[in-house]
Amino acid sequence: MISPCVSVDIHPSLFPEAIQARLRASFQTRRIHGAFHYDTARRAHRWMQVHAAHSPAFHAEDARSIYDRAAAESVASLAADASAPWACIGLGCGSGHKEARVAAALAARGGTGIYLPVDVSVPLVLIARGAALAKVPGLRVHGIAADLIDSDDLPAAIGPWTPPGARRWFTLFGMLPNFEPGFIVPRLAAWMRPGDRVLFSANLAPGPDLETGVRTVLPQYDNPETRLWLRTLLEDHGVAPDAGAVEFRIERDAAGAGCARIAADWVVQRPSALILDQETFALGVGDRLRLFFSWRYTREALEPLFSAQGLRCVQSWIADSGQEGVFLAERTDRD
């Protein structure tokens, strides 16, 4: 009898001592590491409720269609050798429905392939695995749980699962907004080899004016479902829901790089405390904790951001609303 168990590799960035250290640092600095909003089944479930209620990729046909087109058209542009092995690496895969489209397009070409969903949340890795298998029954899938911020050695985890000589195809859907621009693109470029490709999505500011465009999309964040999701971590560590409130605001990039971010802070309204094991971190009235941020870019700001790291953008698909885009980039040899 075949075992019904599923294997997921756990990167050292998710070992208990590493998680505790990041949590402690988050509470001390009052800047919550973004991974903690997804890393338990409860938080992942509440995030999926936010996605289902407010994500254009879930509700708007123009946003959904760009992911279908990007998967089909980017894979169709590959060289004609259908027997070549491939590996699809879904960085920050979340629920995995967008990544499953790419894996299905690659599998339809033939050749030996594998899909590697990578996420900080083991529950989401498993959900992404199921999404891919629903699209491509029998697809070889192996999940990796890792924190993308603290896993600079991720290629070592990917390598053993990648077929020899495979064309590597990365995805980075929904992740670019939640990292500082100067961090995630250089890290992605360091993980990729010349000839590798990446499909990434970006949240865009629609219209000609950056701040006006960001205000247009603010309701996708400033809503009851998102507030509930963002305060879940605080509730799980001893803060009562009525001890404060989630406050959203728009922050411009000081460097004027064609991007602005929507930020969410927990503003303390009555004394409370975060509890971690036997430690407490007191919160006084008026204190603020940075819970979350999401960058919005102008389309013109993205290409220089990637090309500076040796990633050449070769195709793009923009939703009619101008709120979301998918981009295909190739890793070039800069040396």
Residue 209's pLDDT band (boundaries 50, 70, 90)? confident
Short-list 102, 100, 109, 114, CA closest to 163: 114
Residues 11-22 have a mean pLDDT of 95
What band does 109 get if pLDDT is binned at 50, 70 and 90? confident
Phi, psi of 121 (to 5 degrees): -105, 120
Residue 143 parent element (H or E): strand 143-145
- Mean local confidence (pLDDT), 276-302: 93
Q: What is the mean pLDDT of residues 296-303?
A: 87
Chain-wide mean pLDDT for the chain?
91
Look at residue 255 and tell me whether its pLDDT is greater than 70.
no
What's the CATH code, domain 54-207+298-331? 3.40.50.150
pLDDT score for 226:
97
Predicted pLDDT of residue 207 = 85
Structural element, H or E, at residue 32: none
Q: How far is CA 212 from CA 203, 208, 218, 292, 296, in A?
A: 14, 8, 10, 21, 11
| One-letter identity of residue 92 | G
Which of 2-6, 27-31, 220-224 has the lowest average pLDDT? Answer: 2-6
What is the average per-residue pLDDT within 74-103?
87
Joined together, the tokens standing for residue 34 give: 């973004």
What pLDDT, on the 0 to 100 scale, is given for residue 335? 46
User: Percent of the chain having pLDDT more than 90?
Assistant: 73
Both tokens assigned to 272:
């409370």
Are the C-beta atoms of 168 and 87 separated by less than 8 Å? yes
What's the confidence (pLDDT) of residue 62?
Answer: 77
Alpha carbon 286 to its chain centroid, in Å, reads: 31
Residue 9 pLDDT exceeds 50: yes
d(C-alpha 32, C-alpha 38), whole Å:
12
Average pLDDT over residues 304-313: 92
* pLDDT confidence tier of residue 81, bands split at 50, 70 and 90: low
Angle (CA) 128 323 32, round 5°: 60
Residue 70 pLDDT more than 90?
A: yes
Which has more confidence, 3 or 246?
246
3 SS3 class:
coil
Buried b (16+ CB within 10 A) or exposed e, 121-148: bbbbbbbbbbbbbebbeebbbbbbbbbb
pLDDT of residue 2: 59
CA distances from 237 to 186, 193, 231, 279 (A): 33, 41, 10, 11
Average pLDDT over residues 215-228: 95
CA–CA distance from 325 to each of 2, 218, 328 (Å)?
A: 42, 17, 10
At 263 the pLDDT is 96
> What is the distance between the alpha carbons of residues 188 and 310, in angstroms, rounded to a whole number?
10
Check residue 276 and give its pLDDT.
96
Taking a C-beta distance cutoff of 8 angstroms, is the pair 83, 110 a contact? yes
**pLDDT given for residue 61 in this prediction:** 79
Q: What is the mean pLDDT of residues 122-136?
A: 95
Least confident of 6-20, 25-39, 71-85, 297-311: 71-85
Measure the CA angle with vertex 207, ends 205 and 213; round to 5°: 40
